[in-house]
Each structure stands twice: as C-alpha cells, then as structure tokens.
Amino acid sequence: MSELSGYKNESLKILNNAGISIGDLIKIITKTTKYSGNLLPRYEYSEENYIVIKLSNGYNIGIDAKNITNIQKIMSGEKQKFIPPEKPNVKESLPKIAILGTGGTIASRIDYKTGAVNPAFSAEELYSIIPELSAYANINTELVSNIASEQMNPEDWKNIANKVIEKIKEGNEGEIISHGTDTMAYTASALSFSLQNLSKPVIFTGSQVPMSSVRSDARRNLINSVEMATTELQEVGICFNDHVYRGNRATKLSIGDFDAFGSPNLDPIAEIGLNIELNVEPKKLIPAFENSAAFSNEIFVLTVHPSLSMNILDCLDLTKLKAIIVRTFGSGNFPMKGEYNMIPFFEKCRDHDVIVAIVSQADYDAVDLKKYPAGRAALKAGAIPGGDMTLEAALTKMMFLLAHSDSKEYIETQFQIPMAGELTVDK
C-alpha cells in the first residue's frame, strides 16, 4: 500500500506537490471556506478526486480537489493506513467454496462526495473481515465486477455464469455470489436458466446495510450463505435473512427491512435456524453440466395501468422487438373499451410476430387467461400466459429463449413449460 493509499489523478498530484502523507495534519482552503484535519487513506473505488480528512470534532469529510485553492501541511502525523484483517488460516479438509464479488450494498462504503452508499469492498475484503467463515469452508475469493446492481445487464450475467463454470471446474463444492439487492432476483433468475443441470449450490446473497455499518446484516447473510454452499442443494438460490429462495422464484419485497426478499408462490427451499432444513430433494440423476448463458435484449416490459394510452403504445417500434412481457391486473385483466382497448395492440404485435406474454402485477397466484373476457380475448389475439412466474423470471426466461431460438412457436411453447422450477404447472 502506498503512502497515499487510494489517491490518484488530481488529488494525488495535489498531495504530492504539497509533500503531504497519510496522517499529516493539513489545512485546506477552498473558494468558500477553510478546513483543518488529518489526511485519511481512501478506498480504491471511491470518487477519485476527493481528498478526505478527519476534522477535530471526529467527523470525516471529502473535499473536491477542483475546489481547492491552497493546501498546506501543518505538521507530520501518524501514518495511518487502512489494513484489512489478515486472512485466517483455513483447513484444507473443509469444503472448497468460492465467493464471487460483484458489488452492491454488502460490498459498500459511504462515499464522502455525496454521503451515498457506493461499491468499495473487494471480495477478498469481504472474506477477511469475517474470519470465522474459515470454520465452515476453505474459501477462495475473486472480484468479478464492482458495480451497483442497477447497472447489471445481460453481459454481466454472462460473465458471472462463465466465472461460475470456471470455479466449478477448479473443484469448488459450492459458490457464493455477493450482489446488490435491487436486481439480485434478475441475475439469480438468469443464471438459473443458463446453468443447466447444476449439481452444486450457487448461492446469491447481499445486505440491506453496508458492511461498514454496526447494524449491517452482511455478516449474518454471508455466514449463512457459506453454510448453504456446503449443502446438497443443486440449484441457484438467494440466501437472505435466514431464508433460501429458489433463484427464479424470488423477488425483492422490501427496501427497508432485513427480510428483503420473498417467494410468493413457492415456499423457501431452505430455512436456516439452529440447523439448516432443506425443503427440496437432491436430484438423483443429473446430466452433464451446461452453461448456455445468452440473452436477447429485443424485449419490452409493459405495465398496464388505468388510462394507458394506446397512442403511446403505437410509438413502440415493433420491428425492433421480439417479445413483450405485459403485467396485467389480477388474473390477466386489462382495459377493453374505447380508446383504452388493448386488444388492437395485441393483434398488432401478433401481425409483427412479436410474442406477447402475460403475467400479473399481483405477487401471489397465477394468471388465468381463460377466466375473464379480457384474458380470453388476449388468447384469441395470440397472447400466452406466464402462469405464476415472477416478472424477474418471465423476463429473463424470455430473454434466454429468444437468444437460443428463432422459432416463435418453439419459444411460446417453452415459455409455458417449467425449465428450472420457475413455474407451477396445472395451477
């Protein structure tokens, strides 16, 4: 670690020119005010042009380098550095588990520029600050990416899937993927379709509160995930707040509770208490493991709402789409009168060979397009039902199917058949 750990570009240049090191008491003059404090080390992924000091009142602040008119060293100070805890010794006899870091709140620090939570921890840091993980498994870590989960896209899904394969080939008995909560259910669902014939657990986890917070749920979720990764589970799961949900059945239900995820139409596949209770039976015969990670972006999600203008839908360029996921009311209802009648739009999609798949805005139960006039009209216009799939599952499944076939008939058929436990049949 350098004498100016975490600093780079303009901030590093300013500090070097002034002969300032970590721990020095310094005075910073900006266009509007003056600050005095001790220079602090920064984290690798923080906003790069901010200089961070600890004020005499104990608070840390970040000062934009471009606003600094003068900086002076007042006196040398103790050269404090951020040093993660040492990686504990592990027992070679324990199961070999890989932790793949992708960013998110579980791997975050507070950003001094805005006060917001931004990605900062590497996967190695996640491991090092919870040394008791070594009691459960022989853990190896790798940072696949370090981005906020809202920035995840299909290319990231492919990269994660490829890394999972690589780690399995290296002999890992299970894998953990640390991920931001906002889009975790999408990534987990995408991987459930891509990683076919899994014989090992692939566990997603995250946290609602950053690791650096005293009230963080990160430690609990990571320890639980490591334990789950050593079980006989043979699929993609999401481990959160003592529950494990099937990856393609989960959805984020809460922004502010530790119990952030739920699986409305399928009970948790595992419960974590004094013991771990698996609610699924291990597969007896598993064909060869395959990775088929590929996803099409030629898809659109439409949420039905009162007063939805068909004039707006007419602006959609259907020549650039292959499928539309329509989130209807209830069991498949939508407006059918006057200027709000959606049937002509469905017929237009059919005429352009665009698949229309219907799921419900309601979290629980399944769409039934035969139950009410709107659903029956949608079927007549060529729409297909998505059963009790979550939006995350319906979207990623359709993206997956579109990337693997040009046959509209095949895709429509496969969409309505369970591929990875994402859909309840005959419901």
Say whether 252 is catalytic.
Answer: yes
Say whether 33 is catalytic.
Answer: no
Helix axes 373-380, 343-351, angle to 10 degrees: 20
Q: Exactly one of 105, 183, 187, 205 is catalytic; which is it?
A: 105
Token representation of residue 368: 């039934």
Catalogue the E-assigned strands of 129-201.
138-143, 174-178, 195-196
Q: Exactly one of 96, 200, 252, 397 is catalytic; which is it?
A: 252
Say if CB 335 and CB 295 are below 8 A apart.
Answer: no
Token representation of residue 300: 């659109």
Token representation of residue 416: 């309505």
3-state secondary structure 298-337: CEEEEECCCCCCHHHHCCCCHHHCCEEEEEEECCCECCCC
Helix (H) or strand (E) holding 156: helix 154-169
Residues facing residue 202 across a β-bridge: 175, 236
Q: How far apart are the first and last CA of the chain?
A: 59
- Cβ neighbors of 205 (< 8 A, separation 6 or more) are 106, 176, 177, 178, 179, 221, 222, 224, 225, 238, 239, 240
Q: Taking the mean position of all CA atoms in its chain, how far away is CA 223?
A: 18
Q: Exactly one of 182, 322, 328, 396 is catalytic; which is it?
A: 182
Q: Exactly one of 102, 181, 187, 231 is catalytic; which is it?
A: 181
Q: Taking the mean position of all CA atoms in its chain, how far away is CA 11?
A: 32
Say whether 102 is catalytic.
Answer: no
Say whether 182 is catalytic.
Answer: yes
Residue positions annotated with a catalytic role: 105, 181-182, 252
